[in-house]
Structure 1
Amino acid sequence: MSKRGERLQNKGARGSRRAATERNAAPAPRSKPAGGGSGGGGEPSRMKLWARRIFVWGGGLAVLGLVFLAFAIGFAASSIPTYDALKATQPGQTIVVRARDGRELVELGPSFGDWIDYDDIPVNMRNAMVAVEDKRFHSHLGIDPIRLTGALVEGVTGSRARLGGTSTITQQLARNLFLNNNRSLDRKAREAVLALALEWKFSKEEILELYLNKVYFGGGAYGIDSASRKFFSHPANELSVGEAAIIAGLVKAPSRYSPTADTQAAVDRAKVVLRLMREQGYITPDQASVDVSEVQLKEQAAQNSARYFTDWVLPQLDIVLPETFEPIEVWTTLDIGMQRAATASIEANTPGNAQGALVSLDRDGAILAMVGGTDYVESNYNRATAAVRQPGSAWKLFVYLAALEAGYTPEDVVTDEPVTIDGWSPRNSTGKNIGETDVRTAFALSINTVAAQLGNEVGFGTVASMAKRFGITSNVATFPSMVLGSSEVRLIEMTQAFAAISAKGTGVEPYGIAKVTTSTGELLYRHQDKRERGLVPDYVVAGMTDLLQAAVQTGTGRAAQIGRPVAGKTGTTSSNKDGWFIGFSSGVTTGVWMGRDDAKAVPGLQGGRAPAQAFAAYMRYAVKDRAVEEFETTVELPEWQQEPDEEAMYGSPEDYYYIDEQGNLVEPGRRDPAQDGDGPEGARPAASEDFLEQATGGQIPRPQREPRRMPQPQATRPPPDE
Structure 2
Amino acid sequence: MYQEPFRADHMMERDRREQRRRLIVGGSLALIAVMLVSFAFAGWHWAFHDLPPAPQTAAELWNVRREPAVTLTDREGRVLAVRGPLYARAVALESLPEHVPQAFLAIEDQRFYRHTGVDFRGVARALWRNFRAGATVEGGSTITMQLVKNLMLSPDRELRRKIQEMRLARALERQLSKTEILELYLNRIYLGARAYGIEAAAERYFDKSATELTLAEAALLAALPKAPSRLDPTINLDAARARAAQVLAAMEEAGYITATEHAEALAEPAEPVADTSDPNATSNWGHAFDMALTEAQRLVPGDIPDLIIRTTLDPALARAANETVERVLSEQGEAAHAGEAAIVLLAPDGAIRAFAGGRDYRDSQFNRAVQARRQPGSAFKPIVFAAALEAGYDPSSAVWDEPVDLEGWTPQNFSGSYRGLVTLQEALKRSINTVAVQVADEVGIGRIVEMGHRLGIRSDLPELPAIALGAAEVNLVELTAAYSVFANDGERREPYFILSITNSRGDVLYEHRDPGAERALETETARAMSTMLQDVVMTGTGRRAALPGRASAGKTGTSQSFRDAWFIGYTADYTAGVWVGNDDDSPMENVTGGGLPAQIWRDFMVQVHEGLPARALSAPAPRTRSEREERLAAFYSDLSAAFSELLEDGASPSER
TM-score range normalised by the length of the shorter chain: 0.5 to 0.7
Q: What do the CA deviations read for 1:449-488 (whole angstroms, capped 9, x no partner)?
A: 0000000000111111111111212121112111101111
Tell me how large the CA RMSD over aligned residues is.
Answer: 4.0
Aligned position for 1:340: 319
Deviations 1:592-619 (A, max 9, x none): 1011111001113111010010001111
Q: Confirm whether residue 422 of structure 1 aligns to residue 395 of structure 2.
A: no
Report the counterpart of residue 480 of structure 2 in structure 1: 495
Task: Write the distance in 2 (CA, Å) between the matches of 1:76 and 1:498.
Answer: 66
Q: Do the aligned partners of 1:92 and 1:325 also contact (CA within 8 Å) in 2?
A: no
CA distance in 1, matches of 2:488, 2:481: 10
- Structure 1, residues 286-316: CA drift from partner, whole Å, max 9, x if none? xxxxxxxxxxxxxx96733222112101222
Match of 2:68 in 1: 93
* Among candidates 514, 522, 529, match of residue 544 of structure 1: 529
Is the Cα contact below 8 Å between 1:580 and 1:591 reproduced in 2?
Answer: yes
Alpha carbons 2:306, 2:504 under 8 Å: kept: yes
Tell me, in whole angstroms, the C-alpha distance in 1 between the residues paired with 2:441 and 2:619: 26
Determine if contact 2:557/2:593 at 8 Å carries over to the other structure.
yes
Q: How does 1:397-546 map to 2 (within 5 A)?
A: 397-519=382-504, 521-546=506-531
**Consecutive unaligned residues in structure 1, runs of 5 or more:** 1-73, 113-176, 179-200, 203-219, 222-235, 237-299, 636-642, 656-667, 672-722
Find out whether 1:79 has 2:52 as its counterpart.
yes
Q: Deviations over 1:321-366 (max 9, x none)?
A: 3757464432211001101111111112231351111111100010
In 2: Cα distance, 1:427 partner to 1:392 partner: 13
**1:93 Cα deviation after fit:** 3.1
Give the residue type in structure 2 aligned to 1:602: M
Structure 2 counterpart SS, 1:593: strand
What is the distance in 2 between the residues matched to 1:653 and 1:369?
Answer: 58
- Residues 325 and 461 (structure 1), Cα distance of their counterparts in 2 relative to 1, 3 Å cut: closer
Counterpart secondary structure, 1:426: coil
Distance 1:434 1:507 in 2: 35
Instruction: Report % sequence identity.
Output: 36
Please show how residues 111-190 of structure 1 align to structure 2 within 5 Å. none
TM-score, structure 2 as length reference: 0.55
State the distance in 2 between where 1:535 and 1:412 align: 23
Shift of residue 634 of structure 1? Answer: 5.7
CA contact (8 A) 2:395 2:532 kept: yes
Q: Does 1:624 pair with 2:599?
A: no
Q: Which residue in 1 is equivalent to 2:283?
A: 304
Contact 1:365 1:508 in 2 (8 A): yes
8 Å contact from structure 2 (residues 389, 525) kept in 1: yes
Taking a change above 3 Å as real, the CA distance of residues 90 and 411 of structure 1, as seen in their structure-2 partners, is: same
Which residue of 565, 574, 579 corresponds with 1:588?
574
Whether 2:591 is the aligned partner of 1:605: answer yes
Aligned counterpart, 1:253: none
The verdict on how the C-alpha distance between 1:388 and 1:652 changes in structure 2, with shifts beyond 3 A counting, is closer
Within-5 A mapping of 1:330-369: 330-350=309-329, 351-352=333-334, 354-369=339-354
Please give the TM-score of this superposition, normalised by the length of structure 1. 0.51
Q: Secondary structure at the match of 2:283?
A: coil
SS at match of 1:381: coil
Amino acid at match of 1:606: T
**What's the CA shift for 1:632?**
3.5
SS of the equivalent of 1:304 reads helix
Question: Relative CO higher for 1 or 2, CA cutoff 8 Å, sep ≥ 6?
Answer: 2
Select the residue among 361, 367, 372 that pairs with 1:387.
Answer: 372
Pair 318,603 (structure 1): closer, same or farther in 2 beyond 3 Å:
same
Indicate if the aligned counterparts of 1:586 and 1:626 stay in contact, CA closer than 8 A: no
C-alpha displacement of 1:586? 2.0
Please report how far the alpha carbon of residue 94 of structure 1 lies from its aligned counterpart in structure 2 after TM superposition.
2.7
- Cα deviations across residues 116-174 of structure 1 (Å, max 9, x unaligned)? xxxxxxxxxxxxxxxxxxxxxxxxxxxxxxxxxxxxxxxxxxxxxxxxxxxxxxxxxxx
| Residue of structure 1 in register with 2:31 after alignment | none
CA-CA distance at 1:80 after TM superposition: 5.5
The offset of 1:508, in angstroms, is 1.6
1:75 Cα deviation after fit: 11
Q: Verify the 8 A CA contact 2:292 2:309 in the aligned structure 1.
A: no
The structure with more radius of gyration: 1
